[in-house]
Every structure is written in structure tokens, then in C-alpha cells.
Amino acid sequence: MKKEKSKKPDQVVYNEETKKYDASLKPYATNLGAPAIVMEDLSSWKKTSVTKANHHFKTKFEAIKKEYDEMLEAFEYNNLIYRATYSFEPILGQVYHLYRDKNELLFLSIISPLECSWDFVGSFRLNSDKLWEKVY
């Protein structure tokens, strides 16, 4: 015959594994007089946090997009200049001027747009990375 376990009242916290009363060890209230466990309403905190996170990602995206647009513009100018005609070796740091001739072909010159009446495209400076930077 099996020996039946004695049933403890509901308000008694008895651990069957350790064979001890362990109400004081529990991380939550164990008696009827304890305050009720109420879940906090986190919806306003979540809404505020989501708004801040979205703002962060939007700001970061816009910064990356701006940098990408600037890089694309620099690429296009470098592509134009390296495809243009010129019969000299450009000097680093010197400003050069890009023009279109009457056949719509691009050419690079040291002559300022103030000193000529050619179809002016822009002024550029060659940097140490061999990239052309738009000056004006």
C-alpha cells in the first residue's frame, strides 16, 4: 500500500522536493494579504521608445543617403573630367576649369572662365587621391 501525501492548505507554501517551507524564499507574494501583482501598462513607454528608435534610424538613413548622393556626384564629375580632353599633366592642388566646345566635347583648361567666353561647366581641383573636387 502506498502512503498518501498529506495535503497542505493553499495558504501554506511547502516545497515537496526539498521538504521545507519556503515562502520567504519566493520572489513573489505568497499570502492573501500581500499586494496584488499588477502588470504595468507599457504601451506609452513602447510608443515613446519606438518613436525615438524610428527617429534615430531615419536620421541615420538620411545621413547615409546624403553621403551617397555626394559620392555619386563626385563620381560623375571625376568621370566627366577623366573622359575630357587635355594635353597637360594636372598638378595636385591646382584649380582647372572644365568647358564644352562647339561640338559638345569636354576639355580641361587652366584658363579661368573670367578670361574666356567658352561654355563653362565647372572648376575643379585635383587632390592627393587623384580625385577631382568641385571648387565652383
Residues 9-47: tens digit of each pLDDT: 666 787 888 888 887 777 777 777 777 777 888 899 999
Determine the pLDDT at residue 78.
96
How far is 14 from 19, CA to CA, in rounded Å?
7
Determine the pLDDT at residue 4.
59
How far is 30 from 23, CA to CA, in rounded Å?
6
Q: How confident is the model at residue 2 (pLDDT cuts 50, 70, 90)?
A: low
In a domain, 100, yes or no: yes
Name the residue range of residue 101's domain: 48-134
In a domain, 71, yes or no: yes
Determine the pLDDT at residue 83.
96
pLDDT (mean) for 47-65: 97
In a domain, 70, yes or no: yes
The per-residue DSSP string of 6-24 comes to PPPPTT--EETTTTEE-GG
CB 11 within 8 A of CB 32: yes
CB 131 within 8 A of CB 125: no
How far is 134 from 40, CA to CA, in rounded Å?
57
Determine the pLDDT at residue 123.
96
pLDDT (mean) for 54-81: 97
How many domains, the chain?
1
In a domain, 2, yes or no: no
In a domain, 18, yes or no: no
pTM of the model: 0.59
Joined together, the cell numbers standing for residue 28 give: 513573489
In a domain, 54, yes or no: yes
How far is 105 from 29, CA to CA, in rounded Å?
85
How far is 94 from 90, CA to CA, in rounded Å?
7
